[in-house]
């Protein structure tokens, strides 16, 4: 498949909203990304314009986002980038970007997080290794 995959690092600009799409749960939230650049002439860091993305997470990931994320949290999102072009009420063509999330997590470069494994947390039928077994194997 030829899809554009992106990784966003930013801040949750809204609380997570959850809806049903058929039998699937969908969580949506906004992420703000503000690039910073160092300007040698002035020897200072300057913020560029903030870029806003709508993120949609499906099924189990949606439920985990709803339980884990709050407005203002630093996050990392990886997923498929989709561009939506539409005409607003003023007749101006607008392009907005949405990301269909594959992975979402807190940005641990900006703080700590407490992880709680959910039942059936393996992906695509893979079993999740026991943490103690992994630590024992690593120590051997």
Band of pLDDT at residue 127, cut at 50, 70 and 90: very low
The answer, as to whether pTM is greater than 0.85, is no
Q: Domains of the chain, with CATH numbers?
A: 5-139 (2.40.50.140)
Please determine, for residue 135, whether its predicted confidence score (pLDDT) is greater than 90.
Answer: no
List, for residues 14-70, the tens digit of each pLDDT value. 999 999 999 999 999 999 999 999 999 999 999 999 999 999 999 999 999 999 999
Predicted pLDDT at 2: 78
Cα first-last separation, the chain: 40
Closest CA to 8 of 49, 65, 53: 53
List, for residues 64-121, the tens digit of each pLDDT value. 999 999 999 999 999 999 998 999 999 999 998 899 999 999 999 999 998 888 887 5
DSSP string, the chain: ----EEEEEEEE-S--EEEEETTEEEEEEEEEE--EEEETTTTEEEE---EEEEEEEEHHHHHHHHHH--TT-EEEEEEEEEEEEEE-TTS-EEEEEEEEEEEEEE-TTS------PPTT--STTPPPPPHHHHHHHHH-
């Amino acid at each position: 498949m030829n899809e554009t995959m992106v990784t966003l690092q930013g801040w949750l600009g809204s609380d997570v909203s959850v809806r049903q799409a058929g039998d699937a749960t969908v969580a949506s939230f906004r992420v703000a990304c503000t690039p910073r650049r160092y300007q040698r002439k002035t020897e200072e860091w300057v913020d560029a314009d903030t870029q806003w993305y709508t993120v949609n997470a499906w099924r189990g990931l949606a439920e985990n986002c709803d339980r884990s994320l709050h407005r203002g949290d630093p996050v990392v999102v990886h997923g498929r980038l989709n561009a939506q072009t539409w005409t607003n009420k003023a007749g101006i063509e607008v392009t907005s970007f949405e990301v269909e999330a594959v992975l979402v997590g807190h940005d641990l470069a900006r703080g700590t997080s407490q992880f709680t494994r959910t039942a059936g947390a393996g992906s695509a039928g893979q079993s999740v290794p026991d943490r103690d077994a992994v630590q024992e194997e690593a120590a051997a």
